[in-house]
């Protein structure tokens, strides 16, 4: 992953728990989710292009979640702070919450946060095996306020163990947990009422980006315009973007 900049998204070293950054590797992400308790009926897929239909056609549909990895630039930070400034701090909790959102307090855990958002919301949640570590975590998290949820994540040893194993096995040498990494993950999911949500533990809360039709998923033209393409347009020529999608297994 890239070197540090003044826009590093996480708390400074030593200020919070820290994880080894997770590589955007579908095989490792799938292994991590299956170990935590996601059904083998789902897996993470590389998204080779968000503008070429013939490449999108390789991904089973509907896609249940989309994770975008992007560089945290000064341009992005300026836009993020401007959009967040007028918003109240999110206080959602309980079964009536439109989405399950986790505030990120673990340094370099944005990949894990993206995966948790992907499986905790929308149809993917139905694929979590009863009694699994993931099932127990989400059931414990739902009644809690955001600050308490963050503490729960920090204190869940099964989550830390599974993440450490996956993050240590990437195609490139794993960075240190305290390293400065200027790439960040954001997750997009579609909930039952058709809302496309942008879920990022660094924001003030979940962000509703618009309504999708019944036959549209997170890789539909409208969802891509509201999601990844918006990020790409803002950053211009920076090519350090990648996407993975959670969808049906090819096995």
The CATH homologous superfamily of the domain defined by 26-248:
Peptidase C12, ubiquitin carboxyl-terminal hydrolase (3.40.532.10)
Q: Reply yes or no on whether 34 is catalytic.
A: no
Q: Reply yes or no on whether 8 is catalytic.
A: no
Report whether 188 contacts 14 (CB < 8 A). Answer: no
- 211-246: pLDDT as tens digits: 999 999 999 999 999 999 988 887 765 667 899 999
Distance CA 84, CA 202 (A): 10
Report whether 21 contacts 179 (CB < 8 A). Answer: yes
Tokens in use for 20? Answer: 């080894």
Report whether 56 contacts 219 (CB < 8 A). Answer: yes
What's the whole-number average pLDDT of the chain? 87
Q: Where are the domains of the chain?
A: 26-248
The active-site residue, picked from 110, 117, 163, 243, is 110
- 73-126: pLDDT as tens digits: 888 889 999 999 999 999 999 999 999 999 999 988 889 999 999 999 999 999
pLDDT of residue 127: 98
Q: Is the dihedral of CA 225, 226, 232, 233 positive or negative?
A: positive
């Amino acid at each position: 992953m890239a070197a540090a900049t003044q826009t590093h998204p996480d708390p400074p070293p030593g200020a919070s728990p820290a994880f080894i950054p997770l590589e955007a590797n579908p095989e490792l992400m799938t292994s991590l989710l299956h170990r935590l308790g996601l059904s083998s009926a789902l897996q993470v897929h590389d998204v080779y292009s968000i503008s070429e239909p013939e490449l999108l056609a390789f991904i089973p549909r509907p896609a249940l979640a989309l994770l975008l990895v992007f560089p945290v630039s000064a341009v992005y930070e300026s836009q993020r702070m401007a959009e967040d400034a007028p918003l109240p701090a999110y206080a959602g909790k309980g079964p009536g919450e439109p989405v399950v959102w986790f505030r990120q307090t673990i340094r370099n855990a944005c990949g894990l946060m993206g995966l948790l958002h992907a499986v905790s919301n929308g149809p993917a949640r139905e694929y979590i095996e009863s009694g699994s570590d993931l099932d127990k975590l989400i059931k414990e998290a739902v009644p809690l306020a955001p600050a308490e949820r963050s503490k729960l994540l920090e204190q869940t040893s099964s989550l830390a163990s599974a993440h450490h194993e996956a993050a240590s096995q990437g195609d490139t040498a794993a960075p240190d947990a305290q390293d400065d990494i200027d790439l960040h993950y954001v997750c997009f999911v579609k909930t039952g009422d058709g809302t496309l949500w942008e879920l990022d533990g660094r924001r003030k809360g979940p962000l509703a980006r618009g309504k999708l039709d019944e036959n549209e998923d997170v890789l539909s033209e409208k969802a891509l315009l509201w999601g990844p393409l918006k990020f790409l347009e803002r950053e211009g020529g920076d090519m350090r973007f990648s996407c993975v999608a959670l969808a049906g297994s090819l096995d």
